[in-house]
Amino acid sequence: METLFFFKNMLPDEEAQLRDYFSTKMPKFEKMLSHYPSDGVILQVKGEKFDKHSAFEVELTMKMPGNTLSAKEASHMITKAVDLAKDRLVMQLKKNTVQTRRAHRGIKARGKVAVRSRLAVGEV
């Protein structure tokens, strides 16, 4: 998985904090995406600081083969914003995995039904 970082209005130490903290969260994504090719998934991490409100906004965008997932969260602490955005993205990823499995299971089930019906009729 390729990870790209983008920063807006952030100090260098805040950028480093975001990179370091997010790198501790990466194993969760890598475990869930183990069945995809390593170069097939691109994760964009966008961090923005709002000086007026002293808040941070983190947006995670994951581009996978056949799907794009996105999560955006804002908080006064950068670690909290990362955690909330990560949780949203993990939820979307789990939902996508379940839907994909159901779709494949449906194809297999339809194939079995078709074979059974042909066996019952005596075509095969």
Please give the C-alpha separations between residue 51 and each of 45, 54, 77, in angstroms, as whole numbers.
20, 5, 13
Range of the structural domain that residue 92 is part of: 2-121
What's the CATH code of the domain at 80?
3.30.160.100
For residues 61 and 69, the answer to whether their CB atoms sit within 8 Å is: yes
Segment 5-30 shows an average pLDDT of: 94
Quick: pLDDT tens for 60-92.
999 998 889 999 999 999 999 999 999 999 999
* Per-residue pLDDT at 29 exceeds 90: no
Number of domains in the chain: 1
